[in-house]
Copies of this chain bind each other. A is one copy, B any other.
Amino acid sequence: MVALSDLTPEQHRLLSEQTIELPSWAFGNSGTRFKVYGTPGTPRDPFEKVADAAQVNRFTGMTPRVSLHIPWDETEDYSKLRADAEEQGISLGTINSNVFQDEDYKYGSLTNSDDRIRRKAIDAHLHCIEVMNQTGSDTLKIWLGDGTNYPGQDSINARQGRLAESLAEIYAALGPDQRLLLEYKFFEPAFYHTDVPDWGTALLQVMALGDRGVVCLDTGHHAPGTNIEFIVTQLLRAGRLGAFDFNSRFYADDDLMVGAADPFQLFRIMREIVTYGALDKNSGVNFMLDQCHNLEEKIPGEIRSALNVQEATAKALIVDEEALAKAQADHDVMAANGIIMDAFNTDVRPMLAELRAEKGIDPDPYGAFLRSGYLEKIREERVGGQQASWGA
């Protein structure tokens, strides 16, 4: 058992100030290539998504920002969307581009050998920067579906060169307080090669841009067996870990709730963050969710996910670092591992309930939300229209 009073003031502050950014698209429908199942109450537009995101923040007290996806969240009046969000206690965060759902991008976007299409893809990003200027966002996140399905389909090398040129043009259009966040992914939607498949590639590309080029680590985007916390440390050492996309996976990019597949891994990741000093809100690392809720309810899914990250963080914070340093110096493998496991095996939920009480929110965010009647309300109200999903 651990209580809030067991924490140092610094640990207390870090835990209390921790925030997680929510993705607007988590509130829309999603699915597999076989089927997208619907859910009653799903938002039909960005305003309804923002409203749902605000609910998560209302009950968890730790998700005060929501990322947008352009064009999924395209709207005529971003200042209205911004005001709407702020009224509900949250702000608009990272802007995500989307250059993987137009017929023109069948063979690539920023890497396409066809100048017209490449131009179009770059312009889509310039438009995103305009949106950023209206929403007050400071980060442009780029994930590309670019790649090839068959050996020989295109030149890996030439595509890498075109990518560098495209990114440079986009980067040049950013304001001095804006940064470019490049995400890598091992595979999918491309099957043979992905143009930004790993952290090494993403890092080389953003280092070539300048200081405001950073890397996004999506926890689901690695080969089987990859030690993700090692990559966290490498990107921190390089000063280029811009953000996380949290989610979890059993097989491929399953996009399940973070912490659902391997909670011990999430704890190990957060421990690298904590020990490196990157939990602080000024560290430059943005903690974001990027998940789908194919079968489960979406708002509860986001609440559970935020709590999972918070619990893993609390466990990471209570590791007895002094004892651990000694065990490591002594090469006492059993003792060192035991200290880590002791923190992981501790139930931190009562302490987090205390923290919430301190903040004046319900100690049980998940239950409180279910009891609030919000789900019933949106199921009733949001009838008709087109439910938002990845494609719309």
Contact = CB atoms under 8 A, between A and B. Distances in A.
Interface residues of A, number: 101
Contacts of A227: 192-194, 197, 250
Interface stretch (A13-21, A87-95, A149-157): A149-157
B150 A336 contact: yes
Interface stretch (A56-64, A128-136, A325-333, A355-363): A325-333
A204 B37 contact: no
Contact of A233 (B1, B157, B199): B157
Contacts of A223: 222-226
Contacts of A339: 152
Interface centre among A37, A106, A324, A340 (most CB of B within 10 A): A106
A349 interface: yes
A191 interface: yes
A238 interface: yes
A291 to B, nearest CB: 11
A301 B334 contact: yes
A374 interface: no
A250 B276 CA distance: 24
Interface centre among A101, A156, A296, A331 (most CB of B within 10 A): A156
Interface stretch (A3-11, A27-35, A71-79, A168-176): A27-35
Given A32-B189, A200-B234, A152 B251 contact: no
B331 A35 contact: no
Contacts of A226: 223
A186 interface: yes
A191 B250 contact: yes
Interface in A357-375: 366
A113 B324 CA distance: 14
**What is the total number of copies of this protein in its complex?**
4
Contact of A234 (B201, B234, B237): B201
Interface centre among A31, A188, A251, A296 (most CB of B within 10 A): A251
B197 A200 contact: no
Contacts of A341: 152, 260, 263
B33 A230 contact: no
A156 B103 contact: no
Interface string A191-231: 11110011111011000000000000000001111110111
A334 B297 contact: yes
A268 B363 CA distance: 28
Contacts of A106: 37, 295, 331
A386 interface: no
A272 B156 contact: yes
A294 interface: yes
Contacts of A31: 33, 189
27 contacts: A32-B33, A34-B101, A35-B105, A113-B328, A149-B333, A150-B257, A150-B260, A151-B260, A152-B324, A153-B333, A153-B336, A154-B328, A155-B328, A157-B275, A187-B225, A197-B227, A200-B203, A223-B223, A224-B224, A224-B225, A262-B262, A263-B264, A263-B341, A295-B333, A297-B333, A304-B338, A338-B366
Top 3 nearest A-B pairs (CB, nearest first) are: A200-B200, A223-B223, A152-B340
Given A151-B337, A154-B336, A200-B231, 7 more contacts: A32-B189, A35-B105, A35-B189, A155-B275, A157-B233, A197-B230, A200-B200
